[in-house]
Amino acid sequence: MCHTPIYALSDELRETARENHRILLQRLADVGQKTVAEIVGITESKMSRLKDTTDGKGDLELFASIAAVLGIKLTDRDAVYCDRDMAQAMATMLRTSVNSPDFIDIIFSGGDKK
């Protein structure tokens, strides 16, 4: 074993590391192992070794774990990020404003009503 496999991480890190690893493998499948290898300048066999999913052998799994330990959650490039504090503030605002007919009119009119 080259490194601690994802399943052996703490509960706190395991979920993020698994999701990171899943995203890496899915995007690799979407783009194609050969295409990725060519673009980054490695052989397809090296790319295959990087993604090896045998316990603790794949560098993609290691990268996913390192990202999780660093507090990084991988996501798609087009995903919109909103931190937890902002989401909670928005939820509070919506809860307190949803009963206002003027608020609903403004939201659904795109803010054009005055």
So what's the pLDDT on residue 47?
Answer: 92
In a domain, 51, yes or no: yes
**All residues at 6 or more sequence positions from 20 whose CB lies less than 8 Å from its CB, including other chains:** 63, 64, 65, 67, 68, 72, 73, 74
In a domain, 76, yes or no: no
- Contact predicate 7/14, CB 8 Å: yes
In a domain, 100, yes or no: yes
- Name the domain count of the chain: 2
Please, what is the Cα angle at 15 between 82 and 79, to 5 degrees?
30
Note whether 66 and 91 are same-domain residues: no
Segments forming the whole domain that contains residue 96? 82-113
What 3 state SS string does 62-98 have?
HHHHHHHHCCCCCCCCCCCCCCHHHHHHHHHHHHHHC
In a domain, 1, yes or no: no
Instruction: Map residue 103 onto helix, strand or coil.
Output: helix
pTM above 0.75, yes or no: no
Note whether 61 and 91 are same-domain residues: no
Q: What is the pLDDT along the chain (114 residues), one digit of tens a residue?
A: 468 888 889 998 999 999 999 999 999 999 999 999 999 999 999 998 888 877 667 789 999 999 999 999 998 888 887 888 988 888 888 887 777 778 777 777 866 655
